[in-house]
Amino acid sequence: MKKANQILLLFLYCFAFYFSFAQDPITRPHPKTIVGKVVDSASGIPLSQVSVAVSETERSSTFLSTLSNDSGFFEINLFTQQQYLVTFSFIGYKTVTRNINSIPSDLGVIPLPSLAKLLKEVQVTTKKPIIEQSFDKLIYNVDADLESSTASILDILRKIPMLALDADDNLYINGNNNFRVLINGKPTSLL
């Protein structure tokens, strides 16, 4: 019984092998390739990661796409013979479109022109924050306060968080008057 199963299994393998090659080679689709190399038009340097998209017409959507390799080469396999549009696009470069009438086709070198645009001058401005807090201190930047040119020092001190002035203009930080006041990093006896 075991030998009969082995013979039957061998027969099925031979039968499947025969039918896999029994197809007419003319009707079996063979891939047709489109190849080329994408380079920078000014320098001739190969461009990698360029998007290569294939569509049937300008209005139809892309049905096949690939990226160029590190040497700028690409290869696309198609199974039908018809007219195609191949579009090459890359950031910073103009999009280039080529019509393909016959396949297989070697497009050769496809130069992509740069979209070199000079930017206008950029000026970055920032404002110093009025209050800066670090892990061990709190800094109040008087020159960042718009009222500093017209207000007195006591009026400015009343605006500082965690700082209080009593009726006699004595300073308290969190209810405690045991502290030192530094102006520009130096101790002062004014307060």
Residue 18 maps to a domain? no
Statement to judge: residues 101 and 62 lie in one domain: yes
Q: Quote the percentage of the chain above a pLDDT of 90.
A: 16
Residue 156 lies in a domain: yes
Distance CA 23, CA 29 (A): 11
Q: Residue 95 falls within a domain, yes or no?
A: yes
Query: Is 19 inside a domain boundary?
Result: no
* Alpha carbons 109 and 39: distance in angstroms, whole number: 7
Does 166 fall in a domain? yes
Q: CATH number of the domain that 73 lies in?
A: 2.60.40.10
Decide which of 84, 112, 140 is a domain's last residue. 112
* Nearest of 76, 88, 86, 87 to residue 38 by alpha carbon: 88
Q: Tell me whether residue 63 is in a domain.
A: yes
pTM beyond 0.85, yes or no: no
Domain co-membership, 135 together with 166:
yes
Q: Is residue 25 part of a domain?
A: no
Confidence of residue 16 (pLDDT cuts 50, 70, 90): low
Higher pLDDT, 9 or 36: 36
Same-domain status, 98 and 136: no
Overall domain count for the chain: 2
Q: Say whether both 49 and 105 belong to one domain.
A: yes
Q: Examine the domain organization and report whether 135 and 108 are in the same domain.
A: no
Lowest mean pLDDT: which of 57-66, 105-114, 123-132?
57-66
The answer to whether position 139 is within a domain reads yes
pLDDT at 112: 92
> What are the tens digits of pLDDT across the range 165-187?
888 877 788 788 777 777 777 87
**Domain span at 161:** 131-187
pLDDT at 92 over 90: no
What is the pLDDT, as a whole number, of residue 39?
A: 93
